[in-house]
Structure 1
Amino acid sequence: MTGPRADGRARRGWQRDHAPEPGGGRLTTFSIHVGAHKTATTYLQSRLQQGSAHLRTQNILFEPMPKFRARFTRHLWRAFRKVPEAPTPQDLQAAFGFYLRQAEGHFVASDENLVGTCNLSGRVYADSKARFEFLKACLPGSPDVVVLTVREYAGWLASYYSESIRWQPFVSFDTYKRRLKLDDGLWVRVVEALVETFGAGTVKVMRYETLQDRLPALLSTLCGAPIDETKLPESDDRREGLSAAAIEAVGKIADLSDAHIASSAIDAAMKRFPRSPEFPAFAPWSAEEIHRLKALYADHMSDIGRRHPGIFI
């Protein structure tokens, strides 16, 4: 059955499955880590998950990203796109509130898809402002802190491209490079969108290049309390990037399949051509391009720091 009655029935079913349990704990404070993609998000989420029992002793709740994405983020972006039967902002506030009622002090949400999705259009996170505003409308209160991790452009854009070809019709990196809009602000634009939405005092930026040295500060910022990183064990769950040979293999598959590549085919290429001395990492930039991109990143970080003193973790 389709139509308004079916849509309403489906939404009521979603409300029933995602509503907070009655009689849970009090509403708590919360923080949000919005990504970005390919900035050690899996590593950070693994550390938080591995140490979740320790965090609970400090009244801090962390939900594993796949579960949080299934309960909240996936439905958030269905509603943003106005997909039929998608939940309303009020439904999503209740879904997020589920976690606030489970925690006794502080809830940490982390999902790199909250910043947007990877694509090959050439303008990274083009609709980030609209997405952040919609996210804010779907929260049951104001976050204590919103964290974005950024990364130097040469390495990040190559990784971003490798992630994008999992979900978009394949194009060569040369084609993607011609599409790239390097003059639209990039990280400056995304940070400004966050600040305009959540306020300068709420937004914090972590630089990927300093993450290992600043990990205790990042964890403490997200958790709203000092965190001993040694209590959050490291996990072996790390996602390796694509080798140059794997990218080449994916391109050949695309030539035979009208450019649409199944994620399983990319995983097979990664398995056949794993990053190793034999199969070096995908490194598509020339030395001159790397120099320019590093200089651009440095300029952008300086610009962000001037606009928002104290924003960096």
Structure 2
Amino acid sequence: MKKALIHIGPHKTGSTYIQKMMQTNAHLLAPSHQFFPKSDPLFDALQRFTLGVHNSEDATNSLQTIHQTAYELGRSLTAPNTLISSEDLLGPVPTLAKIYGLYPFLHLTLPAIQAGFDDAEVETQFFCYIREYQDWLRSVHAHKFRDKKRTFAPRKFSRANGLPFAWDTFTETMYTALGKDAVVFRSYETDAVSGRLGADMFRYFGIPDAVLDHMDWIEPVNVSPRRS
């Protein structure tokens, strides 16, 4: 049975950097492992469907399409092990697109993706980097108000946008929706401080340290370690 490790961010945890690393170093992988291109038409369609879910009605109406697209994507995989990465599979960046809450529809959309891959006989796990929450919240705030000067008040910002004060709700929802064995959480800070963001996920995917040492670790952009 083929396997897919699906990296889903969340947003503001270095996902774009990781995807550039995948693109830059894909040639180093053994034939048994593949980095799946984000520009693939089926993958692009799946991301557009999840980004288009802005309310419960959108989610309900999109589930069959999301399931079918995930099924077709799963059927298209050629390697025994594939790493797929897109934070947009969770939906829009929190606080944008007039969405209230922290990925409020993932309990509907991610199981549809999981079921589509299952039907294509592809075993999936979902991988998330968890960043220190206050730093993550600050980054989301800066993204939302990047053209304006707004003072960052964590609790006020969280309440105004329906965001929790920690990751607990998110992790519990992920476990409930997908099953504990299907979700992997790792520390963003551990990788970021080492200067090799994504390394922990690449190791989990099965890439040996000898290959990691030969990777072109490109210069990070907007990737910062935990604030002191």
Which stretches in structure 1 are left out of the alignment for 5+ residues?
A: 1-26, 242-280, 282-289, 292-313
- Which digits, 9 at most, give the CA deviation of each residue in 1:90-118, with x for residues without a partner? 53134312541xx2321111101122322
Offset at 1:73? 1.4
Indicate if the aligned counterparts of 2:34 and 2:83 stay in contact, CA closer than 8 A.
yes
Q: Give percent identity, aligned residues only.
A: 19
1:175/1:210 CA distance change after superposition, 3 Å:
closer
In the alignment, what sits opposite 1:123?
A: 101
**Equivalent runs, 1:5-44 vs 2, <5 Å:** 28-44=2-18
Indicate if the aligned counterparts of 1:136 and 1:197 stay in contact, CA closer than 8 A.
no
Aligned-partner residue type, residue 92 of structure 1? T
In the alignment, what sits opposite 1:88?
A: 65
Does residue 156 of structure 2 align to residue 178 of structure 1?
yes
User: 2:221 aligned to 239, 258, 279, which one?
Assistant: 239
In the alignment, what sits opposite 2:113?
A: 135
In the alignment, what sits opposite 2:201?
A: 218
Indicate if the aligned counterparts of 2:49 and 2:62 stay in contact, CA closer than 8 A.
no
**CA distance in 2 between partners of 1:67 and 1:173 (Å):** 40
Aligned-partner residue type, residue 158 of structure 1? R
Aligned length in residues = 211
Report SS of the residue matched to 1:107.
strand
Q: Which is higher, the Rg of structure 1 or of structure 2?
A: 1
1:183/1:229 CA distance change after superposition, 3 Å:
same
- Which digits, 9 at most, give the CA deviation of each residue in 1:217-254, with x for residues without a partner? 32121x24535212321224x4338xxxxxxxxxxxxx
TM superposition score normalised by structure 1: 0.55
Which stretches in structure 2 are left out of the alignment for 5+ residues?
A: none
Report SS of the residue matched to 2:13.
coil
Aligned-partner residue type, residue 95 of structure 1? E
**Equivalent runs, 1:57-76 vs 2, <5 Å:** 57-67=30-40, 69-76=43-50
**CA distance in 2 between partners of 1:161 and 1:124 (Å):** 13
Q: RMSD value over aligned CA atoms?
A: 3.7
1:86/1:152 CA distance change after superposition, 3 Å:
closer
TM superposition score normalised by structure 2: 0.73
Does residue 137 of structure 2 align to residue 164 of structure 1?
no
In the alignment, what sits opposite 1:54?
A: 28
Aligned-partner residue type, residue 110 of structure 1? S
Report SS of the residue matched to 2:181.
coil
Indicate if the aligned counterparts of 1:33 and 1:148 stay in contact, CA closer than 8 A.
yes
Indicate if the aligned counterparts of 2:131 and 2:189 stay in contact, CA closer than 8 A.
yes
Taking CA–CA contacts closer than 8 Å with sequence separation of 6 or more, which of the two structures ends up with the larger relative contact order?
A: 2
Does residue 212 of structure 2 align to residue 229 of structure 1?
yes
Report SS of the residue matched to 1:180.
helix
In the alignment, what sits opposite 2:19?
A: 45
Offset at 1:84? 8.5
- Which digits, 9 at most, give the CA deviation of each residue in 1:174-210, with x for residues without a partner? 5885241498463111111221122212211111110
Indicate if the aligned counterparts of 2:63 and 2:112 stay in contact, CA closer than 8 A.
no
**CA distance in 2 between partners of 1:159 and 1:92 (Å):** 31
1:117/1:85 CA distance change after superposition, 3 Å:
closer
1:123/1:171 CA distance change after superposition, 3 Å:
farther
Offset at 1:153? 2.1
Aligned-partner residue type, residue 239 of structure 1? V
Q: Which has the higher strand share?
A: 2
